[in-house]
Amino acid sequence: MTQPGDQRILYRAFQFTLEIDGIQNARFQEVSGLDTTIDVIEYREGGSSNLGPLKFPGQIKHSNLSLKRGYTDKRDLWDWFDSVMTGSTESYRKNVSVIQLDMNGQEVYRWNIFAAFPVKYTAPSFNAKNNEIAIETLELAYERIERS
């Protein structure tokens, strides 16, 4: 528990790593889409309509998780997407962890994403006028998220 006057530790957005089904050192440039929304169900109750509707939590919705990395000769992301695209139902769902690291590279906390599978693959854009690294993107749908 922080005491008055204690400095809060702020973590840097570039210090993270990813695990896909326990595989460490999955190097990515950007991870986004750690986003969950709970729908609101409104209910009008007789006699209290002047106060407005009652509100209850409804269905949970997750954004797609977007993974971006420099394009390499590794085909692991493409092969995973291809297995879903071609109808393979064996082991196409994977658990993914996004891990926040401190300045010493030690794990601070993680988001665990469960039953993820690829829903969109974007190959690198090519432009002879630029000298940027080619980036590939994989979007994952998932069923559940927890933070530990």
Residue 72 has pLDDT above 80, yes or no: yes
- Contact at 8 Å (CB) between 116 and 141? yes
**Using 50, 70 and 90 to split pLDDT, how confident is the model at 8?**
confident
**Within the chain, where are the H helices?**
76-85
* Each residue's pLDDT tens digit, 41-61: 999 877 656 678 889 999 999
* Each residue's pLDDT tens digit, 25-44: 567 889 999 999 999 999 98
- Contact at 8 Å (CB) between 111 and 145? yes
**Using 50, 70 and 90 to split pLDDT, how confident is the model at 1?**
low
Side-chain-side CA neighbours of 36 within 13 Å: the count stands at 14
Distances (CA, A) of 93 to 13, 31, 124: 27, 18, 24
Residue 46 is predicted with a pLDDT of: 73
Phi, psi of 142 (to 5 degrees): -150, 160
Record the tokens describing residue 19, joined without a space.
């695990």
Question: Residue 83: exposed, middle, or buried by beta-carbon count in 10 A (0-12, 13-18, 19+)?
Answer: middle
Residue 17 is predicted with a pLDDT of: 87
* Each residue's pLDDT tens digit, 109-129: 999 999 999 999 999 998 899
Domains of the chain from N-terminus onward: 16-147 (2.30.110)
Residue 14 is predicted with a pLDDT of: 83
Q: What is the mean pLDDT of residues 72-91?
A: 84
- What's the pTM value of the predicted model, to 2 decimals? 0.81
**Dist CA 110 CA 100 (whole Å):** 6
